[in-house]
Structure 1
């Protein structure tokens, strides 16, 4: 047991948003910030050897920097799958494939939330990056995260790009350089936060330098089990770590534990759907629709006979159609992404067909009041027939692009692992909103959520860059 402590701001989770937020708030030397992270610290010798190589995904069964969850992708028939979340400083941004493309301007304007329109978020996108390839008013030149693109394609990526151009799709010079009037359809190089083969995610680019300040503390290998709420205000969190069980009190508490972790922590602390909380014997502090309308990018996977391209990022270019389908030519098989070339000779490169503006909504619900028991996750990808029809049309296009080298007549259901929206922001009249427009939990003072949970709708591109932006944007609200 260690002595209880008090800080100005307590951040639960050192993922992409939490890392950026901690750096931003601690820039004020009078603000004492503590970050609690369930995973290991960068100083753990196991960490660097797993996360530094941006050309590998350290997400296999033996990984010590991820946590695995079971989900049901579809209802009829039930298709169960495993999803992975980073459990390390940097979160999922420390273990992913380096895709760091912004959401489209129409995504943010479509949220219709004050303070989150494209004109509001663009300065924060610029602030987090140094774009090595492009300059100008749409790009950052001195942010901590280096962004670059592969220019000379080889192997399957080169074949894919040539096939899309032959099919009449335009080349999009800069997928992160689109403004409100820019056409989004076409093929282009993926902006990557991989520098000389090494990931430069928010954990390393933002939080680690901030830890040199005297007003920032990191409690790694420490799990938060509950938020303490007194008189309608969040006042502390209960933790368990290397030094035993203890409590940290704070003036402001911010959950940055990801779409699964933040939602589960709210619910076990009494903030969530009241009927389910009462069934589990949890005292209801605020009846809110936590986990009731989640979203993710459904993906169909098609094995292809392209020659694998090793020692390159898993995804170097994508095609986005006007109907919101993103077609992804993965450079190698999944086993090679995780374990390296030669692990499974039968493993082949594949094309992913992802629906980037899905209508379907899933659920995250508590299975138990015990915070160590994983929640029930249901993607419900087949709940909207129009989504299935769009995926089928996207698969047909993918077959045309990869003509003659497809190794399966039937795509298989998968997921982009972009679960979001478990605690969405919204206006006062939005019945789905768990948070207000400044990421404050409705009905509870002193408590915010800042991560992918807050998105009321997924962006039309992978969410990593957007989640880092959310951390940068929300710092202005929490700093007051």
Structure 2
């Protein structure tokens, strides 16, 4: 059987938040042929497009065609297995999430390699957005992603805000203003949901570019392995509706997310030597892929007010020290349209600067077998102490007694850092400061995998910034040649 081959100047694996931005920027040069491979469906089906655009509901229920599910282990000492989801559709997780578009803090970028200081990343934070509430040097006015904060709060959020004020916390007008966002206080969440419409990078960046003749998007097409010849990535083997194919490119960019990109690297022989040999994968480059990812652990406690379905998932959050308290507007079941709307919502107590590090590992050379995901949230006693302080604070805010039993473990589903960038002397770095895989020519990873640390806020806006800044730099270098 002859496997068809398609060649591009740039091959982007994954049409999620990062991949959409990367593909749009590279394809803005008509002389650059760009192919995008997306494992999930496109949004030509009006029903799927409507689900992705509806900011009042999370289209991640058990019947959803827009997500892929993974089993994950949250803790080490007690069985806390959960099912986590990632967007598997044009737009990726940015097409199915709650619209939280809060930037990382300046202090987060102190751990990034040179070239990623706050003044430098601010340019790309501004470039991807149009902030409809604030202008000035902190905000963008011409970017494709609209950002707005809720003005009319639902009953539960209003009660939370009043209680927070009674507890002595102030109000932060703009959580995306770096001069104010680092202090304790509550504030309205910057959302990429405007008038009920969720506008992630897929809708904002990639969809308008689809008419370009130099851009091809292959949906329902799974990347299964990177072909590495010597020390250069030359092709990606894929399985699509027409069967297997081999996609060659001068530049291969993985944007499949912190789980998908790391899994693909390991399947292709890039990772820890012992792990690869154990499952029979030929070693191409020994790098610490998946060795110490991070995520935001979350404990859930009951709120004392009724839910209000049909709203954004979060309207307001409270930041205090390393904690974020999240008064969800409705129960999770109501968010996905699968339970009684009067069911009580919960308050999420999330640790935004966790010390615990997780592990993502390869268990089979078969691409159909997902990796093992171990968050190890309970591996650091200081993290547990901080979460307990957060539960006590939540109790004080809602006027309830502290919870005696541990609240329910959950995860923010903000997994980052499975292939972190770093300086040449950083032993934990998988990528160089421009997101190129160390020791492999022609191969980059541009998505949440590349973050050296999980940001102190939800990572979506930071991942969009990372994609914009990295791709802009690479496109500029190409044009100067």
TM-score of the two chains, using structure 1 as the length reference: 0.96
Residue of structure 1 in register with 2:174 after alignment: 174
Residue of structure 2 in register with 1:361 after alignment: 357
Q: Distance in 2 between matches of 1:182 and 1:351?
A: 21
Query: Offset of 1:405 from its aligned partner?
Result: 9.1
Given that 1:226 and 1:238 are in contact with CA atoms closer than 8 Å, whether structure 2 keeps it comes out as yes
Given that 1:294 and 1:421 are in contact with CA atoms closer than 8 Å, whether structure 2 keeps it comes out as yes
Residue of structure 1 in register with 2:111 after alignment: 111
Query: Offset of 1:103 from its aligned partner?
Result: 0.5
Residue of structure 2 in register with 1:67 after alignment: 68
**Cα 1:454–1:267, aligned 2, differ >3 Å: closer, same or farther?**
same
Q: Distance in 2 between matches of 1:137 and 1:217?
A: 36
Q: Distance in 2 between matches of 1:183 and 1:66?
A: 33
Query: Offset of 1:237 from its aligned partner?
Result: 0.4
Residue of structure 2 in register with 1:375 after alignment: 371
**Cα 1:408–1:15, aligned 2, differ >3 Å: closer, same or farther?**
farther
Query: Offset of 1:115 from its aligned partner?
Result: 1.1
Q: Distance in 2 between matches of 1:49 and 1:30?
A: 34
**Cα 1:283–1:53, aligned 2, differ >3 Å: closer, same or farther?**
same
Q: Distance in 2 between matches of 1:245 and 1:414?
A: 38
Number of aligned residues: 475
Q: Which runs of 5+ in 1 are unaligned?
A: none
Q: Distance in 2 between matches of 1:405 and 1:394?
A: 13
Please say which of residues 343-352 and 125-134 is displaced more in the overlay.
343-352
Residue of structure 2 in register with 1:237 after alignment: 236
Residue of structure 1 in register with 2:35 after alignment: 34
Q: CA deviation digits over 1:248-303, x for unaligned, max 9?
A: 10000000000000000000000000101011111100000000000000000001
Given that 1:334 and 1:347 are in contact with CA atoms closer than 8 Å, whether structure 2 keeps it comes out as no
**RMSD of aligned C-alpha atoms?**
1.5
**Cα 1:112–1:463, aligned 2, differ >3 Å: closer, same or farther?**
closer
Residue of structure 1 in register with 2:440 after alignment: 444
Residue of structure 2 in register with 1:131 after alignment: 131
Q: Is 2:349 aligned against 1:348?
A: no
Query: Offset of 1:112 from its aligned partner?
Result: 3.9
**Cα 1:345–1:29, aligned 2, differ >3 Å: closer, same or farther?**
closer
Query: Offset of 1:152 from its aligned partner?
Result: 2.1
Q: Distance in 2 between matches of 1:97 and 1:155?
A: 19
Alignment of 1:370-409 (within 5 A): 370-404=366-400
Residue of structure 1 in register with 2:426 after alignment: 430
**Cα 1:229–1:49, aligned 2, differ >3 Å: closer, same or farther?**
same
Residue of structure 2 in register with 1:142 after alignment: 142
Given that 1:302 and 1:406 are in contact with CA atoms closer than 8 Å, whether structure 2 keeps it comes out as no
Alignment of 1:22-421 (within 5 A): 22-108=23-109, 110-179=110-179, 183-322=182-321, 324-339=322-337, 343-344=339-340, 347-404=343-400, 410-421=406-417
Given that 1:303 and 1:407 are in contact with CA atoms closer than 8 Å, whether structure 2 keeps it comes out as no
Q: CA deviation digits over 1:117-173, x for unaligned, max 9?
A: 111100000000000000000100011000000112121000001111111111000
SS at match of 1:395: helix
SS at match of 2:336: helix
- Partner of residue 463 from structure 2, selected from 441, 464, 467: 467
Given that 2:225 and 2:268 are in contact with CA atoms closer than 8 Å, whether structure 1 keeps it comes out as yes
Query: Offset of 1:78 from its aligned partner?
Result: 2.3
Given that 1:426 and 1:436 are in contact with CA atoms closer than 8 Å, whether structure 2 keeps it comes out as yes
Query: Offset of 1:44 from its aligned partner?
Result: 2.9
SS at match of 2:75: strand
Query: Offset of 1:67 from its aligned partner?
Result: 0.5
SS at match of 1:75: coil
Given that 2:105 and 2:182 are in contact with CA atoms closer than 8 Å, whether structure 1 keeps it comes out as no
Query: Offset of 1:204 from its aligned partner?
Result: 0.5
Q: Distance in 2 between matches of 1:48 and 1:6?
A: 30
Q: Which runs of 5+ in 2 are unaligned?
A: none
Q: Distance in 2 between matches of 1:175 and 1:453?
A: 25
Q: Is 2:450 aligned against 1:454?
A: yes
SS at match of 1:114: coil
Residue of structure 1 in register with 2:4 after alignment: 3
Given that 2:308 and 2:341 are in contact with CA atoms closer than 8 Å, whether structure 1 keeps it comes out as no
Q: Distance in 2 between matches of 1:44 and 1:250?
A: 30
Q: Distance in 2 between matches of 1:34 and 1:50?
A: 25
Given that 1:71 and 1:81 are in contact with CA atoms closer than 8 Å, whether structure 2 keeps it comes out as yes
